[in-house]
A and B are shown apart, each in its own frame.
Chain A
Amino acid sequence: KQEVTQIPAALSVPEGENLVLNCSFTDSAIYNLQWFRQDPGKGLTSLLLIQSSQREQTSGRLNASLDKSSGRSTLYIAASQPGDSATYLCAASSWDNRLAFGKGNQVVVIP
């Protein structure tokens, strides 16, 4: 069974600093890995999807890397803003399309 762990569980950073969020997974046989954003009481917004054959994906200030062999992915958010405050979820997809989620990184960006 795929286990996904996200560290740290929570962090606060001053506005302008870069954010580094870590995700690890136990089974390297993944189809893809996704990063989502979740605001309190809301659904999920997809941020980046990395296919198993890819090493990274970028969108604006966001960059996600994937190292399948070590079972790790990292989400980088450059020049953080207060609007980046949210919970970030990492999910590993198996080849039968089932997503295993971590508990999330709860981020607070302090103005």
Chain B
Amino acid sequence: GAVVSQHPSWVICKSGTSVKIECRSLDFQATTMFWYRQFPKQSLMLMATSNEGSKATYEQGVEKDKFLINHASLTLSTLTVTSAHPEDSSFYICSARGASRNYNEQFFGPGTRLTVL
């Protein structure tokens, strides 16, 4: 149980275009979802926290107008990278909370590799 999926697993796009990444909890209802970014050889950095039906809370230094997060249902959150540029190329990972008796436990998706040309 507690499976989280992401789609697409990888995407290549041209500079200036927008890219949408989906995060789904497959077998549980996720009250909270998190979006992380990981650059090569670096740790995961939390970008934002989203609760179903409310606005996302962004970490300091993350542009909310550039990284649009929607958490419209208890099983789906989306991250849209608007007007992507090469510096946005990274590994984006989502996680979801809500399945476990360990209230604070997050379950992670497989990640999405974004390459902006």
Contact = CB atoms under 8 A, between A and B. Distances in A.
Contact of A36 (B49, B108, B109): B108
Contacts of A31: 104
B32 A97 contact: yes
A-side binding surface: helix, strand, loop or mixed? strand
B-side binding surface: helix, strand, loop or mixed? strand
B43 A102 contact: yes
Contacts of B32: 97
Kindly state the interface size class of chain A when it binds its partner: 20 to 34
B24 interface: no
B63 interface: no
B110 A49 contact: no
B44 interface: yes
B106 A4 contact: no
Contacts of B43: 4, 89, 101-104
A41 B113 contact: yes
B93 interface: yes
Interface in A8-29: none
B49 A98 contact: yes
A51 B102 CA distance: 9
Contacts of B46: 98-100
A79 B110 CA distance: 28
B104 A32 contact: yes
Nearest 5 pairs between A and B by C-beta?
Answer: A43-B110, A44-B108, A101-B43, A101-B44, A43-B111
Interface of A: 4, 31-32, 34, 36, 41-46, 49, 51, 89, 91, 93, 97-104
26 contacts: A34-B105, A34-B106, A41-B111, A42-B110, A42-B111, A43-B109, A43-B111, A44-B108, A46-B105, A46-B107, A46-B108, A49-B105, A51-B102, A93-B104, A97-B32, A97-B97, A97-B106, A98-B49, A99-B44, A99-B95, A99-B106, A100-B46, A101-B43, A101-B44, A103-B41, A103-B43
